[in-house]
Amino acid sequence: MVDLILQCRWILERRAVMGLLAVNLSLGCAATSWDRVAPPVEMLVLGDAVDDSERKAALERGRMVYLVDCSKCHVPEPILTYSVQDWGHILPEMIEETSLTAEKEADLRRYVESVLQLGADAAG
């Protein structure tokens, strides 16, 4: 499964470079619906006024923590299934279950918060 995730990420990252050809390739990825579980970082940084590569890198790491570390015991659920209030108690509990390093915890929190913000923006 990790292979699949990494492969999809590889394809997504190269979509910009390879253009149309890769768009066709990435259709296979969309079918796995990881983008629905954990929205790709491109969606989170769309509104950024400046190209902040540090933020992007942290969000990418956080997304991988969600899809890899957080899927040890169960399939990761779409983040937007739960409200900000729900995550307020779920996240600390699950971070404890996962025994994350401080760095991974910070990246994960940043990623999940950004996704929830995206959800709030989308809801208007």
CA distance 58 to 75: 22
What is the x/- site pattern for ligand HEC, positions 83-102, by CB under 6 A?
-------x---xx-xx----
Q: Which of 47, 53, 72, 102 binds ligand HEC (CB under 6 A)?
A: 72
Q: Which of 73, 75, 122, 123 binds ligand HEC (CB under 6 A)?
A: 73
What is the x/- site pattern for ligand HEC, positions 103-122, by CB under 6 A?
-----x--------------
Instruction: Report helix angle 20-32 to 2-18, nearest 10.
Output: 150
Q: What dihedral do alpha carbons 97, 59, 88, 82 form, nearest 10°?
A: -100
With binding defined as CB under 6 A, does residue 74 bind ligand HEC? yes
Number of helices (H), then strands (E), belonging to the chain: the values are: 7, 0
The residue among 77, 7, 89 whose CA lies nearest residue 36 is 77
Q: Under the rule (CB under 6 A), what is the footprint of ligand HEC?
A: 66, 69-70, 72-74, 77, 82, 90, 94-95, 97-98, 108
